[in-house]
Amino acid sequence: MTHTAFITGGTKGIGKECTEAFLAKGYNVVATYRSDDAAANALRTSHIGKNLEVVKCNAADFEQTKACWQLVTERFGGADIIINNAGISQQKVFCDITRSEWDEMFDVNIGSAYNTVKCAYDYLVGCKWGRIINVSSIWGIAGASCEVHYSASKAALIGFTKALAKELGPSHITVNCVAPGVIDTDMNSHLEADDVAALCEETPLQRIGSAAEVASLICYLASDDAAFITGQVISPNGGIII
């Protein structure tokens, strides 16, 4: 049986590395993206002939996600590996965060996970096998100053993971959460060189992580080798928090 991975935010950063890794393993992959057509086209072009669908879909929008899931069903019969990777971030002191910014943060970072799982739920339960992996953040565990809405939304994703793991366990579906530390992605590209150097100094391993390292962990959690791991939060963060 060939597994199919459904990856939100699958054309850049950690999501792109997941797409590359699952394709390399011979999986079917559906990678969604919200707006960067250039990155999406580059990914398509580099994998012509592979079982890859790159779909423009705002994962925070339920109707768009539902339409995308219909495409997944038509092309691959469904997807039994769900990677909820879509996310946004923003640095702002709490008193300056507008209600619309708060709502958007939650719509994308936790609402998108609701949307994908809601669409996939019946299929996964029917299969009696599945993997759901949610990408949170170290700040969902520890909290980050000037990122209250981001930290809160990522903490919500951790609670979502733990509760859903208990509900889906009897159907042999595992649900886990990856909470990366500082990773070299577009989301952190705003950091100045001095900020990166300071973060490296704070980290026992003396460096920031790579998107490929996080993707490798996600691939493991999707494998049969991780069949007895569920409801867990694993944080690849170089030891900056333990």
Tell the residue number behind the tokens 């719509």, with chain if given: 107
Which one of 114, 123, 150, 220 is the catalytic residue?
Answer: 150
User: How far is residue 177's CA from residue 217's CA, in Å, rounded to a whole number?
Assistant: 10
The pLDDT value recorded for residue 195 is 76
Entry pTM: 0.95
Cα distance between residue 191 and residue 164, in whole Å: 34
Burial grade of 26 (CB within 10 A; 0-12, 13-18, 19 or more): exposed
User: Which residue has better confidence, 199 or 15?
Assistant: 15
Query: What's the whole-number average pLDDT of the chain?
Result: 95
* 33 catalytic residue (yes or no): no
* Predicted local confidence at residue 123, as pLDDT: 98
pLDDT score, position 82: 98
Q: How much of the chain exceeds pLDDT 70, in percent?
A: 98
What are the structural domains of the chain? 4-234 (3.40.50.720)
Q: Which residues are CB-contacts of 32 (< 8 A; sequence separation ≥ 6)?
A: 6, 7, 8, 9, 10, 11, 54, 55, 56, 57, 59, 68, 86
pLDDT at 189 over 70: no
